[in-house]
Amino acid sequence: MRIHDDLLIGGRRRAPEGGRTLEVRSPATEQLVGRVPEAGPADVDAAVTAARRALEAGAWPRTTPAERGEVLGRLGKLLRGRTEELATLISDEVGSPRRWAVTGQVGTALGVLHVHRGIAGSYPWEETRPSLMGGSVRVRRLPVGVVGAIVPWNAPLFTAALKVAPALLAGCPVILKPSPEAPLSAFVLAEAAAEAGLPDGVLTVLPAGPEGSEHLVRHPGVDAVSFTGSTAVGTRIGELCARDVRRCTLELGGKSAAVLLDDVELTDRVVRELVDGAMANSGQICIAQTRILVPRSRHAEIVEALGEAVGRLRVGDPAAEDTDLGPVISAAARDRIERAVDAARAGGARIVAGGGRPDLPVGHYLRPTLITDVEPAAPIAQDELFGPVAVVLPYDDEDDAIRIANSTQYGLAGSVWTADPGRGERVAGRLVAGSVAVNSSAAMDLGSPFGGMRRSGLGREGGPEGVTAFVEHQSIVFPPAA
């Protein structure tokens, strides 16, 4: 049980407004695993005041990028030393299998910090260009200001690192708003950041519900908002930021496609990666490749192989070493996903594997499910379910595959599978997606830009492009020498 009674704002402990708290319950056991304070509008005001003090009069924005990179390096080492603790916390609050949480939850966050420590020395913080008027121009990249970082529950530490690391590296104070369902790892992050040498007020953790969250987004003292979550909420945040002409980065929903070309060799590795790409973290990943496009001539062969692999997945206690899939986050999520599968079945879809709930006494569990015999325009093939459900869709030729892959409102990620990597790259280039992997389900590289097209978002995270989201460009123009 992890209990946090107070908020830490500007180096001082503070009881939450109205004494409100948020309970954190395990989706596997439905038992209480933690409690945190719930920040209200007055707490947001206090955090913004502390952050603006750190921005305008504090040392952090005035340190060198190299010094800030060293702090990120120390933070990474401290978190690495707490890997087991963090993996257990995230497994408890999210339901991720414990062995996957070590790599897929904590390991990815450590990778982000490592990458940004390296970017500190290579990013063009300042450069001099020749002026068309004969003089020169000094182009400087300055901190954008106070950042409101809002992260989801499915990968709480990783998504926090994707925002906190580049913002801190740019010299920005950050107010981190974790999800009410999974706030526990954010407190460990803040503890480690203070130990690494981050000054007071530069990183504040504010768990909050809708009222506190909207107050943070609307706050005139927040210069930029970085959000990961649903397209519906992201649209609202974008509207609010646009009204005040404030910067925002939005990493939103996805319905990613894995395109198997007709020459693909269906090895055990390929089948395993396709299943993992759709089902990891119980499908609760924005880049889950839950639309699997296959040549019509090989449909039966591929469906059989995938169905057998999905049927072998072990669902159960996240703490058990042999568990492949844990629960989904809540009873409401489980019921919503079940309704979508039932509607697809009623519409003529064939359940190849799974469907329904496993025989477990407690927890929000679903059996991993593979579906076929549905139209590409069917809701089950269009809507982001955020659960362990994948759909196999046949296509006629390469152009048809690309048409189906691009026939959603989303454009986040995808993959192409082929015996010819050159062909795979050409097909990848025709997909409307921010990231596409060739012969892999890993459609995200921590040192490269990641983000969506269409309704999958605005802006990019990761790599130097992710740092650029947190800087303002200033040009200082010098006349020609006399």
Closest CA to 279 of 354, 340, 180: 354
Q: Catalytic residues, which ones?
A: 251, 286
Beta bridge partner(s), residue 21: 37
Q: How far apart are CA 462 and CA 441, in angstroms?
A: 18
Check: CB of residue 24 under 8 Å from CB of residue 182. yes
Q: How many helices (H) and strands (E) does the chain have?
A: 16, 21
> Quick one: angle between helices 299-311 and 268-279, nearest 10?
70
Q: Give the Cα separation of 41 and 219 in Å (integer).
A: 10
Tokens of 87: 């993996």
Decide if 296 contacts 394 (C-beta within 8 A).
yes
What is d(CA 308, CA 258) in angstroms, rounded to the nearest whole number?
Answer: 18
Helix or strand run (H / E) with residue 195:
helix 184-196
What residue spans of 28-172 are helical by DSSP H? 41-57, 65-80, 83-94, 98-100, 108-122, 156-169
Query: 306 and 273 in contact (C-beta within 8 Å)?
Result: no
Residues 220 and 353: their CA atoms lie apart, in Å, by 51
Q: What is the C-alpha separation between 471 and 141, in angstroms, rounded?
A: 6
Look up residue 346 and give its two tokens.
């009623």
For residue 397, with 0-12 CB atoms within 10 Å meaning exposed, 13-18 middle and 19 or more buried, which class applies? exposed
Give the per-residue SS3 of 378-396.
CHHHHCCCCCCEEEEEEEC
